[in-house]
Amino acid sequence: MYRIISGKWKGKKIAAPKNFEVRPTTDFAKEALFSIIEHRFDIEYLSVLDLFAGIGSISLEFASRDTKDITSVDLNPKHCGFINSTAKELGFDSQINISRGDVFDWVKKERNHGKLYNLVFADPPFDMDKTKYDELIDLVLNKNILAENGVFILEHQSRQKFEHPNLLETRKYGNVSFSFFAKKTD
């Protein structure tokens, strides 16, 4: 169970089926994250890519705040179906585009078809190997995914530390941290 923090569906509780193995971003961490995002961006005009979308906690939060262009990518067909049905139920189906697939393959093959995103968010499984985290960071920053002044936000366990030349900052909220990365401009 999670809730939408703000926007037109503020306070709406979303219950996923019990057999889903997901870990939605906590309300506390999500509030902090969106405070940072709204301070840096005009959220309504963002183009957002939500990788490892799970049951759509982040995608639906953006949609509730009037973001018009959201792409959610997840491998699990049940998760994609849940995001789709929930988006339709809440009237967000024109804002959220769901793409089922392996995130690494999706980014490698540039399934975005040349579309650039102002904000890329990824919430991979916390037990993912450090080398896979590093691969994901490099893929997002080096493939044709992130807009020139865009930001890549990676959610991870706080004990996981990153040293990367494109790392802007890391914000810690209990056992959850968000690391912010940007493309280096020439």
Domains and CATH numbers, the chain: 2-182 (3.40.50.150)
Q: Which pLDDT does position 57 carry in this prediction?
A: 93
pLDDT at 16: 80
Predicted confidence at residue 162, as pLDDT, reads 93
User: What is the distance between the alpha carbons of residues 22 and 71, in angstroms, rounded to a whole number?
Assistant: 19
Q: What is the pLDDT of residues 14-52, one digit of tens each?
A: 888 777 777 777 888 999 999 999 999 999 999 999 999
- pTM score: 0.94
Cα dihedral 48, 149, 185, 50 in deg (nearest 10): -10
pLDDT digits (tens, 9 = 90+) for 79-96: 999 999 999 999 999 999
End-to-end Cα separation, the chain, in angstroms:
44
Q: Tell me, what's the pLDDT at 74?
A: 96
Kindly indicate the confidence band of residue 185, based on its pLDDT and cuts at 50, 70 and 90: low
Residue-level pLDDT at 186: 55
What is the reported pLDDT for 138?
94
State yes or no: pLDDT of 179 exceeds 80.
Answer: yes
Please give the residue that has the higher pLDDT: either 10 or 16.
10
pLDDT of 125: 92
C-alpha dist (Å) from residue 185 to 44, 62, 141, 148, 150: 25, 27, 11, 7, 11
pLDDT digits (tens, 9 = 90+) for 111-154: 888 889 999 999 999 889 999 999 999 999 999 899 989 999 99
pLDDT at position 113 is 82
Q: Are 57 and 1 in contact (CB under 8 A)?
A: no
Neighbouring C-alpha atoms within 13 Å toward the C-beta of 95 = 25
For residue 165, the model assigns a pLDDT of: 93
Look at residue 183 in the predicted model and tell me its pLDDT. 82
Q: Contact, 129 vs 161, CB < 8 A?
A: no
Instruction: Name the percent of the chain lying above pLDDT 90.
Output: 79
